[in-house]
Structure formats: structure tokens, C-alpha cells
Amino acid sequence: MTTLGMRGPVRIRREHAAVLVTFGLLVAMFAAGSIVYPGFGSGQVVVDLFIDNGFLLVIAIGMTFVILTGGIDLSVGAVAALSAMLCAFLLEQWHWPVAAVLPLVLLVGIGFGFGMGYVIHHFEIQPFIATLAGMFLARGLCFVISIDQISITNPFFTEWAQTRIPLGEETNLTPTVLIGLAVLAGAFWTLHYTRFGRAVYAIGGSAQSALLMGLPVARTRIGAYMVSGLCSSLGGLLFAFYTISASGLHEVGTELDAIAAVVIGGTLLTGGSGYVVGTALGVMLLGTIQTMLRFQGTLSSWWTRIAIGVLLLLFILLQRLLGSSRTRR
Amino acid sequence: MKAVTGHRLFWPAAVLVVMLLANLVVTPGFFSIQVRNGHLYGSLIDILLLGSPLMLVALGMTVVIATGGIDLSVGAVVAISGALACYLISGQEDQGAVSGVLVAVALALVLSAVLGFWNGLFVARVGIQPIIATLILMVAGRGVAQLITSGKNINVNSPPYKLIGGGYWLTLPFAVIVVAVVVALTGLAVRRTALGMLLEAIGGNAEASRLVGIRSRRLIVLAYTFCGVCAGIAGLMISSNISTADGNNAGLWMELDAILAVVIGGTALTGGRFTLAGTVLGALVIQTLSTTIYTTGVPPQVTLVFKAVVVAIVCLIQSPAFRAKVFRRRARPAAPPPASPAAADVEVNA
């Protein structure tokens, strides 16, 4: 197997290769879009990718932590919706100050993550089932708060939603983009330059070995779910900024998009291998597909789902190929 | 007492009975079954009828989970199967023709089997983790269903098709009969032949079972194909019951409910030993829960909260780690700590 030039002077590691392929495909798709559709290749389209998918980026980053430990978190979309709902309710119905609401909502997200992580680690319930219960609970609580959509009229929110940070002549950023990028940088730093991050990789490689090495397995695993809860919560708030409303029906299926982005980004679902930068590229790739379909105009929305499915298929087969070439070496 | 409470079906059955009794307290006529127009009517029959698709899907899921796998795509297959059948029937000149309906049903089931086969190939031949292999179809499948229906809801007006999910036969709902037949046949196939044991062997250790001569790859593909067909039948039932194919919402989150039903029934997600009866009980528990919520007048969306609570309780009770940690501590002053999990059971249930 010399398909990847592994025998050449520059050796490409498997994990790097997957991220590079994602990056290459993203560039290729964007180039193709720019050639086919006029107006596609502008800076604003790139920025819009971040604006439209900022919440997904943040959620998928949290998901990356959990998947790196070898788990999975199905509750992310529901926790995000619950966070937005709780925020809207406290602001609009109870008229709490923003400074109190935002930290509280983030704490609720962390609390959800802690609860699920605790049950998964200490009671040995499979992550799939535990986070499924968390998903049902969070989604149900949204409807306990309110069956209907809540519009947010809080001046802080509406101002933030309209704030544009000029970047060059015709390109504008929103604050949410900066938050997304900050989360990305923070996650990268945490995973690669802290003990917690190294322990996350170690547990995903082999929880047994990590335990024998004296790593704090319980703390790290629960911590990963708490990070995911925090990211989901923050993602929900970003989505609330984006739509200036909250509803129990928001972000249904986000967990699938997040998992897809993580897998396309080159992270192994078995854990222990992958990069948060890859996840960001995966989110951008999903966003590019949607943007292309929007520019195309005649293709219906369900083609997005089929395209994501095909992409998943390609990347999973690719990972399989790369994986087997590694074991054969 | 130990023999009863120690039985693997005890907890799911107990939960079901408790929920039914709770219903009886709230609605005094809950258990009454009447005969009207030669059909059986009553809340219990409703639970069976509405729970039929879930029982079928969960049945297929049990077989897949027994091999140590999981099938996330069943909800999508439900949508595709219903969409194809309704699309074919709506295109016919005489929608009421039995032959046309049979062709549509057969084609829909063949497609479901092919989709299950596709999942099986990925898991057994390509060697991809089941959860990812079936994730592909879960994501893409709903798009395919909408492709078939062109994004619209297809309405059909076909009495023979209506029979599958909403009709009656021999005073019983036809769907319930179908489920009973499929469950019985599956039960015979896995318990009266070596098939069930082989599936459990694969779930226990796929590599070891291959080495002792079990054709594990072929059986895994078979399990996924069976699961696809079960989901296909369920899709026919759902679309037939409402005479509409809804590519967007038919079978939405059904994979989660089915996995829940399997877990509540006592089959471990790790594969190996499985119980079909437990799965049927699990599916009925979930359906009873939904029906209960509807009759009590709580907004249906809030069902999810109760579902979460039931899942948490059932899973925690069945978790040996939970029982050991919580109950042993409490029992310690009275008796010395139990040495084995079996002993812990006695204390819990005493």
C-alpha cells in the first residue's frame, strides 16, 4: 500500500492524512463552487459558513471530546435546544438579567454532561443509552418550559444579533463567529497542551491501560461529557443569537450532523485518534454542501441529507483503507 | 420468590403491569374490551395495534444486537418502505386492486431487504463498526424517502392497503396478527434450531465463533437483512394506518425507541444472550407509556420526560454496578456484604 506516499521522504501519519483529505475536499468543493456559481468565491460566503454553522461547530467540538474517549453523546441537540429555551424563558417570562441567565444556562449544560458522565462511568451504562435518556429528558423539558416557540426581545440579544464586525471592504463578521473560533482554539489547546487532553486520548486508546498508568479515568471521562454539555449549551445560545428565538423543535437531528462532522473530520468513533481541527473542517464541509445546494437553487433540500450520507460513506471507507494499511505495515 | 424475581423477564413485565394498573386507577374502564361490528375494541387492543410497528422493528433490532451490532437505520427504512409502497400504489389506475397492492408491498419489502443487506455487507464484509455503518443509511435514508415522494406526502385510497395497518381480520387488528406470526416464526427459527445459539455465539465473540466454524459473516448479513425486512413491514403498517407516506416524519426516532425496547426487555447492547419475549414486553412498555400520557391529557411532547425517567430506572435496575453500589451499602448493617451478584439480587428483591 503506497497510496499515500507513506514510503516517501515525508511520512504522513494516518490521522493527519484523514484531516488532509478533508481539507483537500473542502478546498476542491469550494473551488468548484466558485467556478460554477458566480458570487460563490467571495470572502462573505466563507464568513457566512462560520455564521450559519457556528453553533454546529461548537457542538461538534464538544462531541469530539466525547468521541475521543470512545463514547458518544446523543444528547447534544436536545441540550442545546433546552439551553436556548431556558435562556429565552428566564429572559422573557421572568425578566432575569442577562448576566445571571447566561452563566446559569451554561451550568445547566455542564450539569447534564456531569449526570450522564457519572452514570456512564460509575454505573457502567452504555454511553449510547445514557445519553439517549439525557436526550429524551432535555427535549421533554423544553416542552415542559413551553410548547410554543419563544421569541427573544431582550435588547442585549437583539443588539448582539445585529452587531457586525467589519473585516475588509465587503465582509462582515458576527460576534458568534469569534466565539466559535475561540472555542476551537480553546479545545485545541486543551486537547494538546493539558493533562486532561492527553488523558482524553489515552482513555480512548485503552481505558484499561490508562487506568493502570494511574491516569484519572473517572475524572477524565466525566470531564469529557461535561465539556460536551458545556459546548452544547453554548451552541444552543449561539443558535438563539442566530434566530433570536427558542423552540423545543430547534436543532432536532443536530447530534447526527455533529457526529457526521466529527467522522468526516477524521476522528475514529472507537476513540483515541483524531483532531478537533478536523472536526472544524468537517463542519465547514457540511456547510459548503448546503451553500452549494442553495446556490444551485433547483436541487431540493433532501439532497443535502443524501450528500452528507455519501460523504460519510466515502470517509468511512477511506478511514478503513488507511487503517488497514497501518496494520499491515 | 427468588425464582420469580430472578427471571430475566421479571423487571420488564413488572414495569408493564405497574403501568397498566396505574392506568386502571386513572381510567376505570381501561381493561374493558368490547366487540363492535365484529371487531375487538378497547384500550388494550389500541396499545397492541399502535405498538405493532415498534414490536416488529424492535424484533429485528434484537437479532442484530444479539450479534453484537446495532442498526440505526431502521427509522429511515420505515420511511423508505412506506414511501415506495404508497408511491407505487398512487401510480396505479385502480388503487383498490389487490394484485397491484401486493406488487407494491412485495417491492417495498424487497427494497427493505436490500437496504438491510447493504448494512450487513458493510458490517460483516468491509468490517466497519455497526454504529457507523448504519449511520450512513440513517442520514441518507430519510433523504431517499423524500426523493421517492418528491418531498410531498403521498395519500393513497386503497382498501386492501389499508388492511395492513388499520384493518381487522378474525376480529383482531391485522397488524397484531402479522406481528404475532412474525414473532412466532422468529421464535421458532432461533429457539428450535441452532440459529439462536449461533447468533449468541457471534455476539459473544465473533472471531472465536468464526474459528470454531460458524459462518459468522453470513449470519451477520442475514441478521441485518432480517432487521431491514422487519423495519420494512413496520413502514407499511405505519403508512397504511394513516393512508399516507410521510418521508419526513414516518418512523422518526424509531431506531431509538426500538433500541430502548430491546434494552428494557433485558438484552444487553454488548451482544450475546438475547430474549425476543423481553423485547416484545419492552415495546409494549414504551407504547403503554405513550398511550398513558395521551389519556391523562399531558401534552404529548412531554412524554419524552417520562420516557427518560423509565429508561433511567430500568437501565439502572438492570445495571449490576448500580445494584452493587447502591443496595450493598444500604444492606450492610443487617447482613454481611453479598459475595456474588446472585446474592445481591436476593437482597434487592426481598
**In-domain check, residue A6:** no
Smallest Cβ–Cβ distance between A313 and the set B70, B136, B303 belongs to B136
- Pairwise CA distance, residues B247 & B225, whole Å: 21
pLDDT digits (tens, 9 = 90+) for B57-66: 999 999 999 9
Domain tally for chain A? 1
Query: Considering the domain B47-297 in this protein, what is its CATH number?
Result: 1.10.3470
Per cent of chain B over pLDDT 70 is 92
Task: Print burial letters for B220-252: b (CB count within 10 Å at least 16), e (below 16).
Answer: bbbbbbbbbbbbbbbbbbbbbbebbbbbeebbb
Residue B227 CB contacts under 8 Å (≥ 6 apart), including other chains: B60, B61, B63, B64, B71, B74, B116, B119
DSSP state of B244: E
Smallest Cβ–Cβ distance between A125 and the set B138, B260, B315 belongs to B315
**Chain B interface, best mutation among A286, A293, A302, by max B CB count within 10 A:** A302
Of A72, A87, A22, A38, which Cα lies nearest the Cα of A242?
A87
- Put simply, the answer to whether B269 touches A126 (Cβ < 8 Å) is yes
The answer to whether the CB of B264 falls within 8 A of the CB of B284 is no
- Put simply, the answer to whether A129 touches B315 (Cβ < 8 Å) is yes
Q: Which B positions 278-337 lie with beta carbon below 8 A of chain A?
A: 299, 301-309, 311-312, 315-316, 319-322, 325
Of A278, A260, A277, which Cα lies nearest the Cα of A269?
A260
Range of the domain at A239: 41-147+168-252+268-275
Respond yes or no on whether ipTM tops 0.90.
no
**In-domain check, residue A126:** yes
Above 70 in pLDDT, residue A145? yes
pLDDT band, residue A12 (cuts 50/70/90): low
The amino acid at B13? A
Average pLDDT, stretch A189-207?
A: 92
pLDDT digits (tens, 9 = 90+) for A277-315: 999 999 999 898 888 888 877 777 788 888 888 888 888
Above 90 in pLDDT, residue A75? yes
The answer to whether the CB of B305 falls within 8 A of the CB of A140 is yes
**In-domain check, residue A57:** yes
**In-domain check, residue A155:** no
pLDDT digits (tens, 9 = 90+) for B126-167: 888 888 889 889 888 988 998 998 888 888 888 888 888 888
* pLDDT of res. B81: 95
**In-domain check, residue A193:** yes
Output the average pLDDT for chain B: 84
**Chain A residue numbers touching B316 (CB-CB < 8 A):** 119, 123, 125
B97 touches chain A (CB under 8 A): no
Largest CA distance in chain B: 77
* pLDDT of res. B1: 56
**In-domain check, residue A329:** no
Task: Print burial letters for B30-50: b (CB count within 10 Å at least 16), e (below 16).
Answer: beeeeeeeeebebbbbebbbb
Residue of A nearest to B73 (CA): A309
Per cent of chain B over pLDDT 90 is 32
**In-domain check, residue A154:** no
**In-domain check, residue A30:** no
**What is the SS3 string spanning chain A?**
CCCCCCCCCCCCCHHHHHHHHHHHHHHHHHHHHHHHCCCCCCHHHHHHHHHHHHHHHHHHHHHHHHHHCCCCCCCHHHHHHHHHHHHHHHHHCCCCCHHHHHHHHHHHHHHHHHHHHHHHHHCCCCHHHHHHHHHHHHHHHHHHHCCCCEECCCHHHHHHHHCCEECCCCCEECHHHHHHHHHHHHHHHHHHHCHHHHHHHHHHHCHHHHHHCCCCHHHHHHHHHHHHHHHHHHHHHHHHHHHCEECCCCCCCHHHHHHHHHHHCCCCCCCCCCCHHHHHHHHHHHHHHHHHHHHHCCCCCHHHHHHHHHHHHHHHHHHHHHHHHHHHC
Instruction: Sketch the domain layout of chain B as residue ranges.
Output: 47-297, 308-328+335-350
- Put simply, the answer to whether B301 touches A143 (Cβ < 8 Å) is yes
The answer to whether the CB of A221 falls within 8 A of the CB of A65 is no
**Chain B residue numbers touching A128 (CB-CB < 8 A):** 70, 131, 259, 269
| 3-class state of residue B192 by DSSP | coil
- Put simply, the answer to whether A128 touches B307 (Cβ < 8 Å) is no
